[in-house]
Every structure is written in structure tokens, then in C-alpha cells.
Amino acid sequence: MTVAPFHPGERAVQARAGVLDSADHVGRSVRSTVPPVAAAFLADRRMLVLGAADGAGRLWATLLTGPAGFVTAPDEHTLAVAARPGPGDPLAEALAGPAKVGTLALDPAGRRRMRVNGRSRPHGGGLLVDADQVYANCPRYIQRRRTLEPAGPASGPVPARGPAVRGTSLTADQQSRLGAADTFFVATADGRGDADASHRGGNPGFLEVLGPDRLRWPEYPGNTMFMTLGNLEVNPAAGLLLPDWAGGAALLLSGTARTVHGNPSGGTAVEFAVTDVVDLPGASPLRWSDPEYSPANPPVEH
């Protein structure tokens, strides 16, 4: 079943960009149910990005992993995830109860992704998500990666999950990791707190580190729905996830973001102010091959 997907913030950004008609057309693909083809896609995934707010209202994006089949659609209205955030994850407590969540399932090898947004509740050691919005995204800006199995000399040992390292600004090492990134994920929410998780990709350096508490990235042309920028139009809270594809760590940031028009590189950009940092060693057992950069990636210009 299709739904009317856009709130006033998204409509405002679409109108400013002059793409209302295009957004209406693309928006017809947004459903409130999980079709069979989407269920099959989800069942093959080994990673799921999840965005939600913690008890203090701060937004975070985090990473859940498991064997193929850990994400399923037991019926067309429900997403079942056989995982929850572990100790030290800033969303562990929030997801122990009902929460508004945005999820993104990514297939780096096939350059495919889809989003399921809704309301989650704990179920055993995992989650059940009642779906409100279900839709796929185009393959642009996804770097192709393949999982390396089994863990060994080619992929490195799988470290145990270490204690979370917390801060309120970025260390020099964290700044270096962010500046070399080709992929990250961003969680946002609308004025009602309905959450969304989205992918951002580009050549290394597209995520610009402006200082220990400020980042900037360009908003490359997308599907014209402007769900992330639409959320930021009405709610500046945001969370970023930077996965370590080779080593399994995850860097989680929370803060606020604003859209910048006519940025130094031209076009639209987002500036992110860091307020909280959580570094999770050993967050994922998955190891991935070196990236094959997307041919859609624009050159990086600072």
C-alpha cells in the first residue's frame, strides 16, 4: 500500500529545489508494507543501520549485525531483527523499550539499499519494528565492498567488543578516520520524532573535518524526496555512524546539523556540530574488502 510520505519540512525543501512534481512521482514508491521482493532482500543482509533518539532526546545512528537471516519480515507489516545494541552503545537503553526508529539495510556488494521506518519494541534478544515507511533507494554513491570470510589473515582477527570511549569532541585519530571516510550514515527525525536513517557516500575527503567539533559534507543529487534535509528543516538533531570496514569498530556521533546553501564547493552542504562522541571497538565481526568507488562519486573539491 502506498502512503503520503512527505511532511511540511520535506515539502519546503522540495519546493525550494523546484522538484515538487518529481518528488510526488518518486514518493509513490513509498509503502507502509514490506513487499515480497523487499523481504527477500532483507533476509540476505548481514548489517542493518538503525537511527533513534536516546532518553535525553539525542539522535544516534548505530550498527546491528548478524548472519544472513538475522533480519526478516515475518509479515508485510513487521520487520524482525535478531539483534540489539550491546553494552556501551548509546541506544542500548532506548531500544530496551518502545522507540521510533529508522532502519537502512545495505548491500555494498550489489550497491543496493532500502529503508524501513517505524516503531520498534523489544522481542527476546532483538527487535520487532512495525513498519510505517518502506522504500528502496538508487545505487548512486555506494562503494562496492564484499565480506571477507572466514576471519583470518586476509580479513584480520575479530576483536572482542571493547569498552566504549566517550567524549564531547573529536580526537585527532577520530578526525583522521572521518576525513578518510568514503561512507557514513546519518540519522534524523521530523518534528514528531519519527526517525530516518540514510546513507552518504563519496570519494575519500568528501566528509570534511572543519575542527574537533564540526564537520561538513556536500549533498549530492539524489531521489528528490529530501527526507534528510526535510527533517533538518524542522528538527536540527542528527546522529552520524562511521563504520570501520576493515577493523570492525564503529564511531558514533550525536549533535545538530544545518543546511548550508552556496557552500564553498558550490551547491548545498550540511554542517554538523558535534556534541557527543562514542567510539565502539569491536562493534562488528564483519570484515569487508577494499572499496570499489562508485562511478557516480563527484570529485572532491575543498
**pLDDT higher than 60, residue 182:** yes
Q: Cell digits for 17?
A: 529545489
Under DSSP, the state recorded for 41 is H
Q: What is the pLDDT of residues 142-158, one digit of tens each?
A: 999 999 864 444 444 44
**Distance separating alpha carbons of residues 154 and 245, to the nearest angstrom:** 13
Task: Express as a percent the part of the chain with pLDDT over 90.
Answer: 79
Q: List strands edge to edge, sheet with 78-81.
A: 59-65, 47-53, 99-107, 112-123, 126-137, 78-81, 71-75
pLDDT of residue 115: 96
**Distance separating alpha carbons of residues 211 and 227, to the nearest angstrom:** 27
Q: Calculate mean pLDDT across residues 1-20.
A: 81
pLDDT band at 177 (very low <50, low <70, confident <90, very high): very high
Question: Domains plus CATH for the chain?
Answer: 8-139+151-280 (2.30.110.10)
Amino acid, res. 90:
P
Contact indicator for 113, 106 with CB cutoff of 8 Å: yes
Amino acid, res. 59:
L
Contact indicator for 273, 255 with CB cutoff of 8 Å: yes
pLDDT of residue 152: 45
3-state DSSP assignment of residue 15: helix
Q: What is the pLDDT of residues 220-273, one digit of tens each?
A: 988 888 899 999 999 999 999 999 999 999 999 999 999 998 765 558 999 999
Q: Show the beta-strand stretches assigned E in 97-222.
A: 99-107, 112-123, 126-137, 165-167, 183-189, 195-201, 208-211, 214-218
pLDDT of residue 295: 97
Q: Calculate mean pLDDT across residues 40-61.
A: 97
Q: In which residue are the cell numbers 543501520 written?
A: 49
pLDDT band at 3 (very low <50, low <70, confident <90, very high): low
**pLDDT higher than 90, residue 283:** yes
Contact indicator for 219, 270 with CB cutoff of 8 Å: yes
Q: How many CB atoms lie within 10 A of CB 18?
A: 9
DSSP run (H or E) holding 230: helix 227-234
